[in-house]
Chain A
Amino acid sequence: EVQLVESGGGLVKPGGSLRLSCAASGFTFSSYSMNWVRQAPGKGLEWVSSISSSSSYIYYADSVKGRFTISRDNAKNSLYLQMNSLRAEDTAVYYCARAPGGGPGWFDPWGQGTLVTVSS
């Protein structure tokens, strides 16, 4: 069974940092592009970042560029999101999602998400 499990969320003060992880299982992780998508409380989906299978191509939303860094460790079947200079507006549930289509394409499946709260 394909499974994605996020971890690392929590409460952090504005200006602080947090590192999210996504553990993948049930598929050949190194063959797929991966993504982070977030959802603020009561709001819609917002794409955060994408990384290709070999980390050759990386993309960021303008709202996080320069503050967040996506990375992956194919040997550990893991995806990461390093979040620095966090702001209140970064408060959201963060989902990792696989992109089966060979590029950023479509996302399937999604993890259950991890909640990040930025507040003093």
Chain B
Amino acid sequence: SYVLTQPPSVSVAPGQTARITCGGNNIGSKSVHWYQQKPGQAPVLVVYDDSDRPSGIPERFSGSNSGNTATLTISRVEAGDEADYYCQVWDSSSDHSHVVFGGGTKLTVL
């Protein structure tokens, strides 16, 4: 089955840029979606189809996807960005189709 690999944690100072990676075999051929989840809350979509932003999501959130790695970039990080972030794809390459989530990355704002 398809596996998405995320670093368990990323730390960044306020005002700096955070990059959260999501690794998968030839993930560049798939559409990658990203979610933000704060403690005690439901996940919120922040990037879909590799690099599109839903309405209401700040331009500071952007995404890219190529080769074996997709990346969520958060520019000018704020304290309120501290959360868990998950990548997700739809894998239809095997004999049955599944939604796959990465293990999640905890973003800490120093």
Contact = CB atoms under 8 A, between A and B. Distances in A.
B101 A105 contact: no
Interface stretch (A15-23, A24-32, A39-47, A77-85): A39-47
A104 B90 CA distance: 7
Contacts of A62: 1, 98
A91 interface: no
A50 B99 CA distance: 9
* Most B-side CB within 10 Å, residue of A47, A62, A111: A47
Interface string A99-120: 0010111111111110000000
> Which bracket fits the contact residues of B?
20 to 34
B90 A105 contact: yes
Contacts of B97: 59, 104
B72 to A, nearest CB: 13
Interface string B71-110: 0000000000000101010100000111111111000000
A113 B45 CA distance: 16
Contacts of B44: 109-110
A47 B98 contact: yes
A56 B43 CA distance: 27
Q: How would you classify the secondary structure of chain A's contact residues: helix, strand, loop or mixed?
A: loop
Contacts of B43: 37, 45, 95, 107, 110
Contacts of A35: 99
A11 interface: no
Contacts of A46: 101
Contacts of B33: 105-107
Contacts of B35: 45, 107
B98 A106 contact: no
- Most A-side CB within 10 Å, residue of B88, B97, B99: B99
Contacts of B37: 45
9 contacts: A45-B88, A101-B48, A106-B45, A106-B49, A106-B88, A108-B48, A109-B45, A110-B42, A110-B44
Interface of A: 35, 37, 44-47, 50, 59, 61-62, 95, 101, 103-113
